[in-house]
Structure 1
Amino acid sequence: MNPEEKPLSFVERMKQRAVNQQNYGGTATPTEAGTVQAACPNCGAGRTKDDGLTKCGYCGHVFIHTELTDGKYIQKEDNSL
């Protein structure tokens, strides 16, 4: 065996695999940084910090309607007590 053709060490093989590795999700597409402003479709106002993403703080328009149902680990509270 020629000394110049010695087998690769474990670390060298790992480095080689890392360089040749392909991304599972494919290549990333570059996008420019920016801000996305969400406005109320009812009154056009920007969303307020206090009310979050569920309703408009100015006109009361509901963006996301949620209804809690009994789940496997979390169940509705019984307010009749």
Structure 2
Amino acid sequence: MVTWYCRVCGLDYDESPWGPNENAPDHSICECCGAEFGYHDHTPASTRQYRATWLANGALWFYPKLKPEGWLLAEQLEQIPDMYL
């Protein structure tokens, strides 16, 4: 199974919300950072800007009930694809 990581926060997903060719976003929302795939992460610059705002506001989970117990922000951020750092 291939894992896809949110370009903003590094949360792992079983499949890409950008489609199999990474060019057709479904505009769903990241359950962690709240980024809309295809909008907030459409360029490396927009991704960095959204991430900076999310972090500055406390890196709160968009859907707090889905936050895993023992969640570690630093470890998740390490999963962000290099192009979007």
The answer to whether TM tops 0.5 is no
More strand by share: 2
Task: Tell me: higher relative CO, structure 1 or 2? Use CA pairs within 8 A at least 6 residues apart.
Answer: 2
- Give the TM-score band, short-chain normalised: under 0.3
TM-score w.r.t. length of structure 1:
0.28
TM-score w.r.t. length of structure 2:
0.27
